[in-house]
């Protein structure tokens, strides 16, 4: 059964762009065949607790003798890593909050990027290497070359580094910018550009879901 892990983290349950795009991906995925399954985790509606201890960042063999991990936290980490391991493809709704990712999504990253277990530290441990992950980054302003925001997108690098570099997953990033063009009068002139970007991102969801779902 080809399985998609569908994560959302937007705090906007009414007009979220990232939620609309990841939903488009998931719908396309399920349309490929009745066997195509979706496992959904809403990190905003069902937030994870912050890591209760730094020991969870380490594979058990790399923990120090005096590091104690609460059993429920260890179990939660196991569930999250299993969910990721069992998925064939992952799609992540990642709105830009304060030039980074929402804290709800960061909490998930903190549970699943585990040195010596899911990422390399002293041995070549990258069990998730090559697994496709599609990051959908929606942002109110613009961060392309020549814009005032150029060089200040700290969200995408901080997702690509743990997932793509440390864990070796096969990351594709889809961005859609200027989502605040209809809310903020100063950005109104960019409404057309925002609509074009959104349309392109929606098409990218369909194309990627079909391609990755057929693989
Ligand atoms: C807490 C918060 C912080 C935000 N910070 C930024 C930011 O740093 N840069 C930006 O371009 N937009 C920022 N925005 C706007 C969101 O990125 C924008 O509304 C985006 O569409 C959110 O994704 P969503 O539509 O999926 O909810 C922020 C919004 C919120 C709620």
Q: Return the pLDDT at 215.
A: 75
Task: Provide the number of structural domains found in the chain.
Answer: 1
Ligand 1 atom at shortest distance from the alpha carbon of 100: 8
- Give pTM, 2 decimals: 0.98
What stretches in the chain show pLDDT beneath 70? none
Residue 32's CATH number: 3.40.50.360
Q: Return the pLDDT at 63.
A: 96
- Going from the Cα of 97 to the center of ligand 1, the distance in angstroms, rounded, reads 5
Q: Return the pLDDT at 103.
A: 98
Q: Report pLDDT digits (tens) over 36-68.
A: 999 999 999 999 999 999 999 999 999 999 999
Residue whose pair of structure tokens reads 């990841």 in the numeric block: 22
- Going from the Cα of 98 to the center of ligand 1, the distance in angstroms, rounded, reads 7
- Going from the Cα of 5 to the center of ligand 1, the distance in angstroms, rounded, reads 23
Q: Whose CA is nearest to atom 2 of ligand 1?
A: 97
Which of 19, 20, 22, 97 has most ligand 1 atoms within 8 Å of CB, for mutation?
A: 97
DSSP letters of the chain? Answer: --EEEEEE--S-SSS-HHHHHHHHHHHHHHHH-TT-EEEEEETTTSPPPPPS-GGGGB-GGGS-TT----HHHHHHHHHHHHHHHH-SEEEEE---BTTB--HHHHHHHHHH--BTTTB-SSS---TTTT-EEEEEEE-SS--STTSTTTT---HHHHHHIIIIIIS--EEEEEEE--TTTTT-GGGGGGHHHHHHHHHHHHHHHHHHHHHHHH-
Domain that holds residue 123: 3-214
Q: Report pLDDT digits (tens) over 198-208.
A: 999 999 999 99
Q: Return the pLDDT at 110.
A: 98
């Amino acid at each position: 059964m080809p399985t998609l892990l569908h994560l959302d983290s937007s705090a906007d349950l009414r007009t979220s762009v990232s939620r609309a795009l990841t939903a488009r991906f998931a719908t396309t995925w399920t349309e490929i065949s009745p066997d195509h399954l979706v496992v959904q985790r809403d990190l905003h509606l069902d937030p994870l607790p912050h890591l209760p201890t730094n020991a969870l960042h380490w594979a058990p063999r790399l923990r120090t003798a005096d590091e104690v991990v609460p059993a429920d936290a260890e179990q939660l980490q196991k569930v999250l890593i299993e969910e990721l391991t069992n998925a064939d493809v992952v799609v992540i709704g990642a709105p830009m909050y304060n030039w980074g990712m929402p804290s709800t999504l960061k909490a998930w990253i903190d549970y699943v990027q585990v040195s010596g277990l899911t990422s390399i530290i002293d041995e070549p441990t990258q069990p998730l290497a090559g697994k496709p992950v599609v990051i959908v980054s929606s942002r109110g302003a613009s961060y392309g070359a020549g814009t005032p925001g150029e060089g200040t997108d700290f969200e995408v690098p901080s997702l690509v580094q743990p997932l793509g570099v440390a864990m070796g997953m096969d990351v594709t990033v889809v961005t859609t910018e200027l989502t605040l063009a209809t809310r903020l009068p100063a950005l109104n002139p960019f409404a057309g550009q925002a609509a074009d970007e959104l349309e392109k991102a929606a098409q990218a969801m369909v194309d990627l879901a079909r391609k990755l779902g057929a693989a």
